[in-house]
Amino acid sequence: MADIFISYARQDEPMAERVADALRSQGYAVWRDDELPAHRAYADVIEERLKAADAVVVLWSSEAATSQWVRAEADAARAAGTLIQAAIDGTVPPMPFNQIQCADLRGWDGKSDAPGWHKLAASVTALAGSGQAELTKPRRELSVCVLPFANMSGDSEQEYFSDGISEDITTDLSKVSALAVTARNTAFTFKGQSVDVCDIARKLGVSHVLEGSVRKASGRVRITAQLIDGASGDHLWAERYDRDLTDIFAIQDEISKAIVDALKVKLLPEEKKAIENRGTTSAEAYNLYLLARQYWISGNYGDPSLDVRVIRICTRATEIDPNYARAWALMALAQADYCFDFDNPGQDCLAAAERALQIDPTIAEAHCVKARILSASGKHDEADREIERALQLDPESWDVNNQAARQAFRNRRMDDATRYFEKAASLMDSDFRSWGMLVSCYRARGDHDAVLNASKILVEKSEEALKEDPSNGSALGMIASGLALLGQKDRAREWIDRALLLDPDNTRSRYNFACALANELGEPQAALDILEPVYEKLGPGLIEHMQSDPDLDVVRDDPRFVAGVARAIKNSKARASATPATT
């Protein structure tokens, strides 16, 4: 009989009791702290039970996320490889637990057919086996981790393509109701590593692992893939595809269906249709979209040429296939950035967003663009409704969570901003920008420990980005800010000087430097000096952000800052009146 330990905040006891009862009905021995003996020390019993448990189920809520006991128990379970997580009120697990898969038990009423319960129960079975032998053995839910396919093209510039293939196969398998699929961000933490597949399966609690490679050159593509049993290490299926690039969609379909067949899973008709829907029939348009997407998520944020590049590539993709909704939506996102952050009011981001929705009403990112337009017009309630709609359509979208976070931040709803930035960071392994925003959120909430932890991760993620692009001014700026927050003031100043030398016109970097100088480095006048060239370039989005950012409260009443913001607003309005706005 396996032991299951349940960790929870006191306010969540009703849910803990419900989870315990459900697990006991499946034959497991469950322990929670209502069974503490009267004659022993609390901490001793907790430690003993944690060590003995085959699985530790942590029920995350807003209260649990701030409980030192719950965090300590979760950390012990993570170290032991016994951690299973469930969110019971939509709260994203705090760092570093937000990097690990989490079942969704919001509104769970105890029914065994709920998707969130299926996910939790499958993890319990994977770690602890079945319950009592005399009870019916619960069906083990099949689960797969798609490791990032290796780029074998001999050209690092083709990395976007192999990453895109991996992500799309992950998305395809996620549409199969009988499969649990590890999140993209978790799988990509193993990118470029020499890994033991069985060890990965054990750590992630999955039954199978898919790995492979991609070679793309001269209009041809070669993809190898193998599905491996996580317990034995045996190959259940393996195949090599060597075809024209125009066959890329057929290859992806065949891989997904081969995995389903190998696992003896029934594919429902609507799931088969969803997998086969690529959004475009053009391999060329698809390739361009993947390229634009890679620039969008990892490029030099704060440099307007990034937006121009993404817009140009997406424009070409939509010329090839005018009905490619994903390309229209990405174009709209970049146009909105170019419009509102860099004050280019002629960008018709609304038209691109509406075109995307006309083709595919379920595309969530287009609603983000509409939210930005409404927010810039001061229609914050309507903007919030657009974001809610986007979150309903795709709660796992990085763009959606990122926009939801920024909207909440600008309205000083720091708890909401924190939750969405944490979610965004968990969805994209290369997202150093969300960690920079989380630093501001944690600081505004007075959580010093979280600020330090986020600053360390910020520096690490930014350094990884610089390995890909040593001239990434945004990453340079984030490193300087992170070092300042960590108390390494001399190094921070060195990085500021280096960043200003390499990318002096990056508005985001200058903005971040100003925040660091005004706060950690204790130089508010130097902060205002850094901001001086920025006022002439700010768009309405950044002006709104500057007016609400608590990191600039130190200089908010300084006459130089007041005059600078007034100048920025005046210049922005003048440019808007001079250029017919089509947004």
Residue 395, Cβ density class (10 Å: 0-12 exposed, 13-18 middle, ≥19 buried): middle
pLDDT class for 345, splitting at 50, 70, 90?
low
Torsion of CA 193, 199, 202, 207, to 10 degrees: 80
**Tokens 């021995």 — which residue?**
29
Q: Which long-range contacts (CB under 8 A, 24 or more apart) does 437-444 make?
A: 437/405, 437/406, 437/409, 439/481, 439/482, 439/485, 440/409, 440/515, 440/549, 440/550, 440/551, 441/409, 441/414, 441/417, 442/418, 443/519, 443/550, 443/551, 444/414, 444/550
CA–CA distance, 368 with 353 (Å, rounded to integer): 9
Mean pLDDT value of segment 93-102: 80
CA distances in angstroms from 145 to 39, 209, 227, 259, 271, listed in the order given: 45, 5, 10, 12, 19
pLDDT class for 558, splitting at 50, 70, 90?
very high
State the pTM of this model: 0.66
Q: Does domain 3-128 have CATH number 3.40.50.10140?
A: yes
Omega before 96 within 30 of 0, i.e. cis: yes
Reference 181, options 115, 129, 278, 89; nearest CA is 115
Instruction: List every span in the chain annotated with CATH 3.40.50.10610.
Output: 142-278
Q: What is the mean pLDDT of the chain?
A: 85
Look up the CATH superfamily of 142-278: ABC-type transport auxiliary lipoprotein component (3.40.50.10610)
Q: Which residue has the higher pLDDT, 468 or 383?
A: 383
Bridge partner residues of 235 (DSSP): 228
Instruction: List every span in the chain annotated with CATH 1.25.40.
Output: 435-583
CA–CA distance, 333 with 307 (Å, rounded to integer): 9
Q: CA angle at residue 509 from 333 to 290, to 5 degrees?
A: 35
Mean pLDDT value of segment 503-521: 86
What proportions of the chain, in percent to the nearest 5, are helix, strand and coil?
60, 10, 30
| Fold entry, domain 435-583 | 1.25.40
CB-based burial, 500-531: b 16+ in 10 Å, e otherwise: beebeebbbbbbbbbbbbbbbbebbebbbebb
Contact between residue 73 and residue 46 where contact means Cβ atoms under 8 Å apart? yes
Contact between residue 503 and residue 473 where contact means Cβ atoms under 8 Å apart? yes
pLDDT of residue 361: 92
Which pLDDT tens digit goes with each residue over 109-156? Answer: 887 777 788 788 878 877 777 554 333 333 346 889 999 999 998 777
Mean pLDDT value of segment 314-325: 96
Which pair of structure tokens corresponds to residue 389?
Answer: 């709609």
**At a CB cut-off of 8 Å and minimum separation 6, what does 174 contact?**
181
Q: Is the pLDDT of residue 232 over 60?
A: yes
pLDDT class for 581, splitting at 50, 70, 90?
very low
Which pLDDT tens digit goes with each residue over 426-461? Answer: 888 788 889 989 988 988 888 888 888 888 889 988
Which pair of structure tokens corresponds to residue 221?
Answer: 């593509």
The kind and range of the H/E element at 62 are helix 62-65
**Tokens 């927010």 — which residue?**
375
Residue 52, Cβ density class (10 Å: 0-12 exposed, 13-18 middle, ≥19 buried): exposed
CA–CA distance, 433 with 149 (Å, rounded to integer): 25
pLDDT of residue 140: 40
CA–CA distance, 314 with 292 (Å, rounded to integer): 7
Q: What single DSSP character describes residue 469?
A: -
Q: Which residue has the higher pLDDT, 179 or 237?
A: 237
How many alpha carbons lie under 13 Å from residue 361 in its C-beta half-sphere?
Answer: 0
Range ranked top by mean pLDDT from 24-38, 166-180, 569-583: 166-180
Q: Is the pLDDT of residue 4 over 80?
A: yes
Q: Which residue has the higher pLDDT, 276 or 392?
A: 392
Which pLDDT tens digit goes with each residue over 35-60? Answer: 555 545 556 677 777 877 888 999 99
Q: What is the DSSP string of 471-490?
A: T-HHHHHHHHHHHHHTT-HH
CA–CA distance, 409 with 442 (Å, rounded to integer): 12
279 φ/ψ sector (left φ>0, alpha ψ -120 to 50, else beta): left
CA–CA distance, 137 with 125 (Å, rounded to integer): 10
At residue 120, the 3 state secondary structure works out as helix
Instruction: Report percent pLDDT > 70 for the chain.
Output: 93
pLDDT of residue 131: 55
Q: What is the largest CA-CA distance in the chain?
A: 79
Mean pLDDT value of segment 225-236: 90
Which pLDDT tens digit goes with each residue over 5-20? Answer: 999 988 888 898 889 8
Bridge partner residues of 7 (DSSP): 58
Q: Is the pLDDT of residue 206 over 70?
A: yes
Q: CA angle at residue 118 from 258 to 200, to 5 degrees?
A: 60
Q: What is the DSSP string of 318-362?
A: HHH-TT-HHHHHHHHHHHHHHHHTTT-TT--HHHHHHHHHHH-TT
Q: Is the pLDDT of residue 583 over 60?
A: no
How many alpha carbons lie under 13 Å from residue 579 in its C-beta half-sphere?
Answer: 15
pLDDT of residue 578: 64
At residue 411, the 3 state secondary structure works out as coil
Mean pLDDT value of segment 69-74: 86
Q: Is the pLDDT of residue 289 over 90?
A: yes
Mean pLDDT value of segment 274-279: 78
pLDDT of residue 582: 43
Q: Which residue has the higher pLDDT, 406 or 141?
A: 406
Q: What single DSSP character describes residue 147?
A: P
pLDDT of residue 37: 53
Cα four-point dihedral sign 404, 405, 408, 413:
positive
Mean pLDDT value of segment 565-577: 81
CA–CA distance, 499 with 127 (Å, rounded to integer): 47
**At a CB cut-off of 8 Å and minimum separation 6, what does 341 contact?**
304, 507, 539, 541, 542
**At a CB cut-off of 8 Å and minimum separation 6, what does 139 contact?**
none
Rg (the chain; Cα; Å): 25
